[in-house]
Structure 1
Amino acid sequence: MLAKKANSIMNISRIINCVTHVIFDMDGLLLDTEKIYKHGISTVLGKYGCEYPDDVKAQVLGSQPPDMMRIIFNNTKIGENSGKTHDEIYKEIVDTYTPLMPTAEWMPGALNLVHHLHKHSIPFAIATSSARESFELKTTHHKEKLKLFHHIVLGSADPEVKAGKPAPDIFLVAAKRFDEVPEPRKCLVFEDAPNGVKGAKAADMSCVMVPDSTIPKHSTELADVVIPSLEHFEPEVFGLPPFEKNGNEV
């Protein structure tokens, strides 16, 4: 790898790849929603005497609802303990976390990076596994900032996204919706989840990972660069305009 891994700041003297377009995941990357999802899942599992281990959470990150429930049922005793179906437990989870979704705030460094890209006319989009209703709730107080993004792809609601992450579909769909369609290798993806990184690399795109603290180190190895937060991103590593010296674009 050309970059230091998690819990370190990038310090690279050469360009990894000159990119022209940027694609962001949203949950746990732009918006601090993963703790809300974790609360909902943990609460429902706990009601039936089950825990939500970190290794299961790592598998769930970035997945669409059917995949999420398959992972949870396969790795816990929720089905056996509750006697309920995937759909029934999913509804309980959604009902638990939904009231909290409008409280989601921007992750550290996210708005600074968004404003920097916008200032320098770098096209950028969102590629999230979110369903429409969930997306609208978690972005309740962020509608104006979202107007800065060229477009948004909702994996759970978009008919062109045939398979969820780790398949490359959502990133390829996001790329082709830019006004000037870039080659995949000219796209830079920001992700927090191993499944998202796998999808980005399967799409032949560069990828910066900002992993959740529960992600084991071996699950970060596919990313081109791993940083502890977006505050530590160095745009020039990918041929993008560097931040101003004060590092504040907001």
Structure 2
Amino acid sequence: MGNDKQKRGDIAYVIFDMDGLLNEILARYGLEMTWDMKAGLMGKVQREAAEYLFSFFPGLEDKISVDEYLKERMGMQDAQFRKVPPMRGALQLVQGLHEAGIPIALATGSTKRNFDVKTGHLPELFDKFHPEVILTADSPEVPKGRGKPHPDIYLAAARKLGRDVGHPNDATAAQEAERGRGLVFEDARPGVHAGVAAGMNVIWVPEPELLALEPGATYGAKQVLEHLSELDTTEWGLPAIRLD
């Protein structure tokens, strides 16, 4: 009780993910993507996610190939991306960290091309990230085939911020401690697994339907929030930032 707050950590740098995608093409074939399916593809790279989705619908590839599906989906998404608002509280959080001088990076499973389309209408948010610290699925620093849930993209992002984080399989005590000073924001299960595997603190902000699949699950995340606006940054040793 009182004014005592739980101290969760002393964070020195923060890495953000970007939201995954909804799909609407399946309805044409009388099919529907359930939230259980979506949960498994969120955070995966583009082709891997499509192949995972197709695995639930035997015979679908006789009607539309994975390549045709990806091409059509890209055209539909481009229009949608340009209208998507930022998650509630995201703008204040990123701007607040930037103004406080906290190193921030972005690690997304999207390709560079899709990232540019997604973010072009939100310069007030994404201009706070220096281009050098934006890691995408096709960034040269991310080994091919090592997307989330592998930790590589988060480790690469930390290194871009000048942190000596080593690798979880071969790291000194100092490098392990440096990974423990990182804070990751994720909305997808593969991304949570990636951040945890990287040895960083993960805050999971899932959509309600995703959380409802396994109530109480954390997948190793240190904190689970319904909205970013619930975050108390001071619990993590960060400056106080008002989030609406």
Q: Same fold (TM over 0.5)?
A: yes
Runs of 4 or more consecutive aligned structure 1 residues displaced over 4 Å after TM superposition: none
Paired residue secondary structure (1:220): coil
Deviation at 1:195, TM superposition (A): 0.5
Distance 1:194 1:184 in 2: 20
Aligned counterparts, 1:12-161, within 5 A: 13-27=5-19, 34=20, 37-38=21-22, 41-42=23-24, 44-77=25-58, 79=60, 82-150=62-130, 151-155=133-137, 157-161=138-142
Number of the residue aligned with 2:157: 174
Aligned length: 223
Paired residue secondary structure (1:57): helix
Deviation at 1:119, TM superposition (A): 2.0
Q: Decide whether aligned partners of structure 1 residues 168 and 50 sit closer, same or farther in structure 2, where only a CA change above 3 A counts.
A: same
Unaligned runs of 5+ in 2: 166-177
Number of the residue aligned with 1:3: none
Deviation at 1:160, TM superposition (A): 2.0
Unaligned runs of 5+ in 1: 1-10, 28-33
Distance 2:180 2:59 in 1: 41
State the Cα RMSD in Å: 2.1
Paired residue secondary structure (2:209): coil
Q: Decide whether aligned partners of structure 1 residues 45 and 218 sit closer, same or farther in structure 2, where only a CA change above 3 A counts.
A: farther
Q: Which protein, 1 or 2, shows the higher relative CO under an 8 Å CA cutoff with sep ≥ 6? A: 1
Q: What residue identity is the alignment partner of 1:178?
A: L
Distance 1:145 1:111 in 2: 6
The question of whether the paired residues in 2 share the 8 Å contact of 1:19 and 1:239 is answered with yes
The question of whether the paired residues in 1 share the 8 Å contact of 2:184 and 2:202 is answered with yes
The question of whether the paired residues in 2 share the 8 Å contact of 1:192 and 1:211 is answered with yes
Deviation at 1:218, TM superposition (A): 5.2
Q: Scaled by the length of structure 2, what TM-score is found?
A: 0.84
The question of whether the paired residues in 1 share the 8 Å contact of 2:7 and 2:235 is answered with yes
Q: Decide whether aligned partners of structure 1 residues 160 and 207 sit closer, same or farther in structure 2, where only a CA change above 3 A counts.
A: same
Give the percent of matched residue pairs that are identical in Structure 1 and Structure 2.
34
Q: Scaled by the length of structure 1, what TM-score is found?
A: 0.82
The question of whether the paired residues in 2 share the 8 Å contact of 1:194 and 1:219 is answered with no
